[in-house]
Structure 1
Amino acid sequence: MPTGNGLRERKKRETRVALSLATIRLCVERGWDHVTIEDIAAAADVSVRTFRNYFSNKAEAIAAAHVERTLRIADEIRASPSGEPLWESIVEAVQANFAPDDSTGVEFRRWRDGVSLMLAEPALQGEVLKANAATQDELARAIAERAGTDLAHDVYPKLVAAVIGAGSAVAIEHCLRAERPTPLDQVLREVFDRLAAGLPVPSDLGVHRDH
């Protein structure tokens, strides 16, 4: 049974996530400039004071979802079967936490367009960078534990953690900029398959360069 402190921390984490998701949904639906802290608090069914207890602004609230997602990825990498190849565990964890259920329909296209506009906000870009820095060490620790290596002396866990962040960002940007709706789970799989293979130069790219 959870202890009092454990239950309290779980409730706080759930509130943070609820506020973050409400902020994302409203900013995607209405546009960045048309969402207030009051709107977010009402959507999450909390007071404005409660929002301010967790976040100082909308950008910080949105970035919190990225922090939570990365922490879940780290937890799932730790919990993956010991006999499963590390990169397979990474791909499964990333896909489970990044890819939406429907990435081809009309609703996804609306979501994609709204997210693209939201991510263009300079304030949010700064908070996402902070979120990446805040979660890199935890992700590296999870990889070190899973790979059975020493984080203090081996560069590999930190390198893989950085690659996970970069690969995920590339996949998301590719899908957001694609002319046609592109399933994020497929792009994530391609990105990490190529990374796991050592990023070989595609054969067709070599042909184009020769010409």
Structure 2
Amino acid sequence: MEIEETAAAPGRRERKKRETRAALTAAALRLALEKGPDNVTVEEISEAADVSVRTFFNYFSHKEHAILGRDPDDLELALRRIREAPAGESPFATMRAIVARVLDDLESIEDQETALAQRIRLITESPNLLAQFVVLGSEDERDLAAALGDQMGEPLGSPLPALIVSATSMAVRVAVEQRKAGSDRSIRSLVDEGFSLLATGLDPHYDPTLEPRTDQKGQA
């Protein structure tokens, strides 16, 4: 019996950690919606989640990370998917598999009661929240590009993995914008089209040997 309890302990700890993180992100989002993200404090979030401020900082470096629902497990899952990509799988196919979970959430964006939709609205309203969102996205893209480069066997410093990761992230953002602009197609369909365009080449007529045209002042 003791062996079973010992073996189960890590599972209970992980479950407790997930519950605490979920409580903090839920409290942070609720308070940000009520008061505005710039007017919420770490102390208020901690009190609402019934944890100490010290516990808050065990999970998040900034209050904005809690409002955004920052979960490092998401990045770890993506990195694992890259490392465990089937032999011969194209980089774009790997990245498409990674964004599959994201697409499930994005397709519910039209429901204004979802946490994702609420967070997106807050991001557009708060410069501080937007700045943290951009920083976190850039950090994740660097980690993903490094893992993808290793998987592809690209030499250190190669721009290709970073371009692939950034381009696929942009494909998702463009699909969301198309949907918001009135497209009747699903976000998933729009993303797949974007991936296909990226994979086949956006401008097959581009000639990199040509000098860029300049205006009369000699400016590109």
Same fold flag (TM > 0.5): yes
* Structure 1 residue ranges (4+ consecutive) displaced by more than 6 angstroms after TM superposition: 9-13
The alignment's TM-score, normalised by the length of structure 1, stands at: 0.67
Residue 170 (1) aligns with residue 174 (2)? yes
Residue 46 (1) aligns with residue 51 (2)? yes
1: CA distance between counterparts of 2:199 and 2:28? 32
Conserved? CA contact 1:22–1:43, under 8 Å: no
2: CA distance between counterparts of 1:126 and 1:42? 26
2: CA distance between counterparts of 1:134 and 1:54? 17
Query: Structure 1 pair 72/28, CA: closer, same or farther in 2 (3 Å)?
Result: farther
Which of the numbers 106, 127, 130 marks the counterpart of 1:122? 127
Conserved? CA contact 2:91–2:164, under 8 Å: no
Deviation, 1:59, is: 1.3
Deviation, 1:195, is: 1.4
Percent of aligned positions with the same letter in both sequences?
25
Deviation, 1:61, is: 2.4
Deviation, 1:67, is: 5.6
Residue 187 (1) aligns with residue 203 (2)? no
Deviation, 1:16, is: 8.1
Deviation, 1:94, is: 1.0
Q: Deviations over 1:28-86 (max 9, x none)?
A: 86463586545643565533331144435431324562765344323212222113222
Unaligned runs of 5+ in 2: 1-9, 205-220
Residue 88 (1) aligns with residue 126 (2)? no
- Higher RCO (C-alpha under 8 Å, 6+ residues apart): 1
Residue 99 (1) aligns with residue 104 (2)? yes
Query: Structure 1 pair 118/23, CA: closer, same or farther in 2 (3 Å)?
Result: farther
Equivalence for 1:26: 30
Which of the numbers 126, 136, 139 marks the counterpart of 2:144? 139
Q: Deviations over 1:93-151 (max 9, x none)?
A: 1122343286277xx2433652342111101111112212322321112211221222x
Please say which of residues 118-127 and 130-139 is displaced more in the overlay: 130-139
Q: Larger helix proportion, structure 1 or 2?
A: 1
Equivalence for 1:148: 153
Equivalence for 2:216: none
2: CA distance between counterparts of 1:200 and 1:23? 46
Equivalence for 1:196: 199
Aligned Cα RMSD in Å?
A: 4.0
2: CA distance between counterparts of 1:14 and 1:55? 13
1: CA distance between counterparts of 2:82 and 2:182? 33
2: CA distance between counterparts of 1:60 and 1:46? 17
